[in-house]
């Protein structure tokens, strides 16, 4: 069975995954959200956060992460060159050049082809961590969309998807309202 590509992302109520300058500090990450992530998607927490929280859970959904240059850059700006050391890490970037870490592979050309190859490989699922431009490029390969909708609106910023060439049909398969107001919605591509 081929691996699934899951776009697992946090967004504002108005559909933005970051502010206009890439900021994410407005997301209200409450304890209930952290506990839910730790229980359901522990591999999506950066390695340093897993260590700080004492999370040593095995990867249950993903063993691979694909992220855009801006998403990767958030950790890189803090000196973190391998943010998800517990996963195979790929960064889609035509500007990064060589990888700053041997554990991180740069996809400089044909991200769609690279993701198709990853999906044909063995292992757990492939997590698309962001950003909106990469999600727009890979939309035809996204099998599942998991959105953590935080109770905040910002009016402008980085959308979940950029430059999608046409409508994308997804089916809502699950929702969960967390006590602090964050709602998790899971969508799948129809068969």
Terminal alpha carbon distance of the chain: 15
**Mean pLDDT, residues 93-99:** 92
The answer on pLDDT for 163 being more than 90 is: no
70-74, 134-138, 163-167: segment of lowest average pLDDT? 163-167
Q: What is the mean pLDDT of the chain?
A: 94
- Give pLDDT, residue 167: 84
Cα separations in angstroms, 179 against 12, 29, 35, 122: 17, 12, 11, 37
Residue 2's pLDDT band, with cuts at 50, 70 and 90, is confident
Query: CATH number of 5-188: 3.40.50.80, 3.40.430.10, 3.30.1060.10, 3.90.105.10?
Result: 3.40.430.10
Tally of CB atoms within 10 A around 116:
15
**Mean pLDDT, residues 56-78:** 93
**Mean pLDDT, residues 178-189:** 96
Task: List beta partners, residue 9.
Answer: 147
73-77, 142-146, 163-167, 185-189: segment of lowest average pLDDT? 163-167
């Amino acid at each position: 069975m081929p691996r699934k590509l899951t776009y697992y992302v946090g967004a504002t109520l108005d559909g933005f995954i970051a502010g206009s300058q890439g900021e994410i500090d407005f997301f209200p990450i409450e304890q209930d959200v952290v506990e839910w992530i730790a229980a359901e998607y522990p591999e999506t927490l950066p390695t340093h956060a897993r260590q700080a929280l004492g999370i040593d859970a095995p990867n249950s959904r993903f063993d691979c992460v694909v992220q855009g240059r801006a998403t990767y850059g958030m950790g890189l700006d803090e000196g973190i060159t391998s943010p998800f050391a517990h996963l195979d890490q790929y960064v889609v970037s035509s500007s990064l050049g060589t990888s700053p870490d041997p554990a991180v592979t740069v996809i400089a050309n044909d991200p769609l082809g690279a993701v198709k190859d990853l999906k044909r490989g063995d292992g757990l699922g492939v997590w698309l961590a962001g950003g909106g431009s990469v999600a727009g490029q890979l939309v035809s390969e996204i099998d599942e969309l998991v959105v953590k909708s935080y109770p905040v609106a910002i009016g402008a910023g980085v959308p979940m998807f950029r430059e999608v060439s046409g409508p994308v049909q997804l089916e809502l398969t699950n929702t969960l309202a967390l006590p602090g107001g964050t709602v998790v919605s899971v969508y799948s591509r129809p068969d």
